[in-house]
Amino acid sequence: MRTNELRERPGLLAALRLAVIYTGGRVSIWNLAGQSKAAARAAIMSELAGRRMPQSKSGVNALASEIYAACGIRGRYSAMCEDRFRRFVRAVIRVGLIRKDARAG
């Protein structure tokens, strides 16, 4: 995905920014697993969907599928997709579309 395409998708950029915030900069979808991170997953899914998503529809597997699809990431194995996602987010940070030290709010 090119930089111009990302700029045209503010929901995706907002979701990536939240992923960076909620994972503490580690940018791993699997860091959002568990009941204690349900609200974080729902917030990210809501940004991706453009509408409020309930926590019951925002499991870690659903989030992974949605965010990988939105970023254009395909792979046979989840570890492969996760690695590509990390590289993708690092590239977005490197070109300055989001900041690694972003804060919620």
d(CA 38, CA 90): 24
For residue 4, the model assigns a pLDDT of 76
Contact 46, 67 (CB under 8 A): no
Kindly list the domain boundaries of the chain, sorted by start residue.
Answer: 3-94
| Three-state secondary structure call for residue 66 | helix
Total residues belonging to the chain: 105
Whole-prediction pTM value? 0.88
d(CA 70, CA 47): 11
For residue 103, the model assigns a pLDDT of 57
For the segment 4-45, what is each residue's pLDDT rounded down to a tens digit?
788 888 899 999 999 999 998 888 999 999 999 999 999 999
Q: Which secondary structure element, helix H or strand E, spans residue 88, and what is its range?
A: helix 78-94
- The amino acid occupying position 100 is K
d(CA 100, CA 61): 24
For the segment 38-82, what is each residue's pLDDT rounded down to a tens digit?
999 999 999 999 999 999 999 999 999 999 999 999 988 999 999
